[in-house]
Amino acid sequence: MPSGDAPGEPSEGERRAVAALEASGLRYRLVRHGPVRSLEEAARARRLGPDQVVKTIVVRRGEDDFLFVLVPGGRTIAWPRLREVLGVSRLSLPDAEVAREVTGYERGTITPFGSLRPWPVVADARVAGRPMSIGAGAHGVAATVDGSQMVLALGATVADVTDPEPDGR
């Protein structure tokens, strides 16, 4: 919990994410649960299937040029397809400190909602068309939203940019 937040009070990150969700006009259900150690535990805590839990990945295109990629649980970024969608030949993952600096969120809490800067969003095609759970700026806090409405609210580019994870997780 960030310093200055009282126990039981929402963190600054959660407050920022929830304010952005409110401002988006999306209907959402906020879910608070304890620590989870796996995708399966997170899905059970949120009462959804593992493939309905969205991981928000920060990707670097260039100097001070980042984007968010929304990846359903059990899938991983298909780098060649993502580079093709973006029209670039090179992408990288920033380290945890850089990701925190450019979003205001630490790893495990990152969400496009309330990010310090409104980076572009690419959503895997499997995000739209069903309820999805996305992080809400703090550990153990998520928002369940309609995936199609979420990609519209974020102005996301929707494309097939993921592959199944080799181990199915």
Contact indicator for 50, 135 with CB cutoff of 8 Å: no
pTM of the full predicted structure?
0.93
**For 115-130, what is the mean pLDDT?**
97
Domain that holds residue 50: 28-164
What is the total count of domains within the chain?
A: 1
In a domain, 103, yes or no: yes
Residue 7 resides in a domain: no
* Domain-located, residue 2: no
The pLDDT score that the predictor gives to residue 85 is 98
Residue 63 lies in a domain: yes
* Helix, strand, coil % over all residues of the chain, rounded to 5: 30, 30, 45
Q: How far apart are CA 150 and CA 89, in angstroms?
A: 28
pLDDT-derived band at 167, boundaries 50, 70, 90 = confident
State residue 158 phi and psi, 5-degree precision: -105, 125
Residue 96 in domain? yes
Q: Is residue 90 part of a domain?
A: yes
pLDDT at 3: 34
What tens digit of pLDDT does each residue of 28-52 get?
999 999 889 999 999 999 999 999 9
Burial zone of 6 (CB within 10 Å; 0-12 exposed, 13-18 middle, 19+ buried): exposed
pLDDT given for residue 89 in this prediction: 97
